[in-house]
Structure 1
């Protein structure tokens, strides 16, 4: 399948809202048709009053029709904008869902290669940058072709020489738009890259604020953030300067062309021009041509105003397409071809499975092993031997090489916990319900008790509504680890994967965590634990030893 490009991404997204965009174009055409009708009625009334000397009462029906056309034109304009905005909103929702689904399919290991601030910026700001393209530019692109052709046809019928003047001036606007667009697209790409870097730079400084204060580097860090922000300001002003300059040039050419038509009509009506159809000009035809000349250029001028929306959308879509082009590991796709294990007792079957990372070669394997229901498998080995990679392979976060296979029980659910459990800014209940959003307070309390946090809960005045900060701020390391264990009790997942669950804990917290793990073991859960801790090794019914990615089973109890 060919790689997704920015142009193809925008085209595919537009195809999902073809009906709304087509209706928006139809409303725009009707709006322009009413503008032409209003101009013709006004010219007819003026000619009847000033040339034919008809009484005002006889022109009243035409005046009433002219007055009715004006608000009706506004209604069609409102409908056009509403339909285009709704199409843009639907497209952005669809793309954001697609991007988040793709990130979920990639898994945490692949996503870890991207800065969280950059991913957040892509999922929010860069997708929002597509708004102008679908809400304004896409519809205006069609109107900028259809409406001038319609006006040109009417003008040619009235006076072919005036139509030639309009036709000669028309290509200048698209020409300058193309020249400006190439520069604007490049600037927008640079601007989006600069914002991604600025986001990562700022969030890194915020996360490291305590360390910076300890070493007295806060002022220097502030200067670095200020310098990065000032660089972004300069890029933004460069982009705006180009946009305003291009608009001024395009307005000049449109105004000059309208002035030429006005001079021609004026001198033609005065009889100073005898060439071509000039001597046939009347007040009606001359006034109508003058009224139609701005309508001829208005769609092109609007397209020029929205042309920077196209440049911004292409710059954003290019970065989004790069992320969507990142391949999903085979074992995380819905079309994975490896069948489930033959035995219902087998949760996980590894058959000559190997894992390789770019630039590092093979870091695990080949591994051939089976994990059965109720096993407690402890994986030991030196740092860098592949323990964490083995757990990631078991979870499906990474894919094995094409030669080996990793088969899991059908619809296998697993729970994951490592040395730094994920805790979000919110309450205790919010963090627990990450495992089971429908759990009631009684289930949450029972899960905390199972993780040996019952005493802590009893001491908290707000109970489950007690707020905690991001990364567990307000809790000790042991309490944060046991809160993550409480989520495992709440999840009821049959397979539990734990990566160094007792690292950096004091003795009391270690004992509480080990007691909770023993309870999970007694409940029949299947545990896979990567650890060096002797007490956790004693929990094992099976022990695997990893040495430079090669697995050896030391005992099978």
Structure 2
């Protein structure tokens, strides 16, 4: 998705928000139409009310004679209520569609950026942006934008009626109207900056809190739990202070509007009162009647009501601008231009994947891997060895397509897909079945039990009271490290992927668990899968049909087993 930039090269959040609103112009326009109907119904009510009071007090009409007018007022009240309902509902529909589209575009862009980009970002901060910052757009699209149109259309309708009744009273309203948005803008200049800082603070707080929760056991072991609590409290208090500053701005903008609106209404009231008493003889004031004067007085608050409503939603605009800045920062992040852009299928008909002169470069580090030529054939096992930081994980990421070759080519055979497993497999909060179905959503219970059996967890799961429905926490809370690894291996069995990439699959495991994992890997070999294993373990190296020794990003030796 192309993101708008201003002339200086920075993010143009207003243009982006306008582009989003343009996609839902139908619902937004209908919401504005409903708002105009509300204004027209209100004008009709006020006109009937002024007429009834004038008839009763001036013309001494009986209450029974005013029954049709009162019935019409009730009918207009119902019309106004229905129009208000549809105005709110249509605005919410537009907002919901826009937020769903924005969240989808963000998720799609994150998928294009790939795991390599995501590893440099905190999951808590990203979750905060995907949830809270996207939700912060709600008030802007559901209420602020429709009200922005209504604060022009509705006052014009009211002003037209006031001008018909008394042009001098209408002049007082016209003179007061520009002061309100002017001072609202002056007060709200800092609101966007404060909201941006607030969203940054809550993203930091989310990441800070998640880090402490994940490390709670370590903190308790080292007696640092109280210090961690104090740090979280300090971060939360900083967020509280930023939130209060933002709320002060919102209340101040509303107070400014109420002040000028009250002054303008008071001026109109003084004019009408003195005009009816005969103290003002200028212009149309001698022609004032109880009906026209009362209606002008009733119209004055309605003239400013759309601006009052806009002021209530003005902080929604500031919140949306602050949130949009953070969202655009993600959308403007450039994915690796060659990641996922495959060359034509490899010429070798039996090869799964081929690298030709491939190099990986990283910002600030230069070339970290290559040049490298590699051809992976079906059924072979390749061991990647070398010291920590030599480039084993980078090569696995290149094979997976998480990073693209800065030079050279990565060729993938048609229909080839892969399974990925590292020493800390992704396990979600849910049942064992939920975790297994991440690899095969349509897998049957029989297939899952068979995969668990191949991974060495079959008897263990069968002995659990709830079996496949046994609940585990995020990151495998409730399982040992070895059980988590074997659960991830069961997913690999379910995936039926011809290519399996493994990054230190036996790291941090005891000898007994290592043996069970190695047995499961041998079962994968027997199924004819192609395995690429980054490892230091002698038993895994011995399993390999060939071995690549990597040092400082260069393949220095290839040993065939």
**TM-score per shorter chain, which class?**
over 0.9
Q: Aligned residue for 1:473?
A: 477
Deviation for aligned residue 1:374: 2.1
Q: Aligned residue for 1:350?
A: 355
1:280 paired residue among 278, 287, 292 = 287
Provide the secondary structure at the position in 1 that maps to 2:284.
Answer: helix
**1:70-96 superposed Cα distances (whole Å, 9 cap, x missing partner):** 111111011101111121122222212
Q: Aligned residue for 1:493?
A: 497
Runs of 5+ unmatched residues, structure 1: none
1:267 counterpart = 2:274:
yes
The residue correspondences of 1:160-309 to structure 2 (distance < 5 A) are 160-309=167-316
Deviation for aligned residue 1:361: 1.5
Cα distance in 1 for residues equivalent to 2:388 and 2:540: 17
Deviation for aligned residue 1:493: 0.8
The residue correspondences of 1:388-427 to structure 2 (distance < 5 A) are 388-401=393-406, 403-427=407-431
Deviation for aligned residue 1:360: 1.6
Deviation for aligned residue 1:134: 1.1
Assess if the C-alpha contact under 8 Å between 1:542 and 1:553 holds in 2: no
Q: Aligned residue for 2:83?
A: 76
Assess if the C-alpha contact under 8 Å between 1:156 and 1:163 holds in 2: yes
Q: Aligned residue for 2:530?
A: 526
1:111 counterpart = 2:115:
no
Deviation for aligned residue 1:5: 3.3
Cα distance in 2 for residues equivalent to 1:139 and 1:474: 50
**1:43-102 superposed Cα distances (whole Å, 9 cap, x missing partner):** 222223332334444433222212211111111011101111121122222212221222
Structure 1 range deviating more: 270-279 or 86-95: 86-95
**1:336-358 superposed Cα distances (whole Å, 9 cap, x missing partner):** 36322233322212122111222
Provide the secondary structure at the position in 2 that maps to 1:538.
Answer: helix
Q: Aligned residue for 2:8?
A: none
Deviation for aligned residue 1:394: 0.8
**Number of paired residues?**
554
Q: Aligned residue for 1:15?
A: 22
Cα distance in 2 for residues equivalent to 1:17 and 1:277: 46
Cα distance in 1 for residues equivalent to 2:135 and 2:248: 22
Runs of 5+ unmatched residues, structure 2: 6-10
Assess if the C-alpha contact under 8 Å between 1:331 and 1:396 holds in 2: no
CA RMSD of aligned residues (A): 1.7
Change beyond 3 A, Cα 1:474–1:66: closer
Assess if the C-alpha contact under 8 Å between 2:525 and 2:531 holds in 1: yes
Deviation for aligned residue 1:441: 1.0
TM-score by length of 1: 0.96
The residue correspondences of 1:436-475 to structure 2 (distance < 5 A) are 436-475=440-479
Cα distance in 1 for residues equivalent to 2:146 and 2:273: 35
Q: Aligned residue for 1:364?
A: 369
Deviation for aligned residue 1:411: 4.1
Cα distance in 1 for residues equivalent to 2:347 and 2:265: 80
Q: Aligned residue for 1:482?
A: 486
Assess if the C-alpha contact under 8 Å between 1:432 and 1:487 holds in 2: yes
**1:422-479 superposed Cα distances (whole Å, 9 cap, x missing partner):** 1222222222111112111111110011112223223323322222232223322222
Structure 1 range deviating more: 453-462 or 431-440: 453-462
Provide the secondary structure at the position in 2 that maps to 1:362.
Answer: strand
The residue correspondences of 1:301-380 to structure 2 (distance < 5 A) are 301-332=308-339, 336=341, 338-380=343-385
Cα distance in 2 for residues equivalent to 1:210 and 1:555: 43
**1:225-246 superposed Cα distances (whole Å, 9 cap, x missing partner):** 1111111111111111221122
Structure 1 runs of 4+ with >4 Å offset: 1-4
Structure 1 range deviating more: 251-260 or 407-416: 407-416
**1:525-545 superposed Cα distances (whole Å, 9 cap, x missing partner):** 111111122211222222222
Assess if the C-alpha contact under 8 Å between 1:346 and 1:370 holds in 2: yes
TM-score by length of 2: 0.95
Cα distance in 1 for residues equivalent to 2:159 and 2:269: 16
Cα distance in 1 for residues equivalent to 2:189 and 2:512: 64
Change beyond 3 A, Cα 1:470–1:56: closer
Deviation for aligned residue 1:406: 1.4
**1:16-41 superposed Cα distances (whole Å, 9 cap, x missing partner):** 21111110000000110111111112
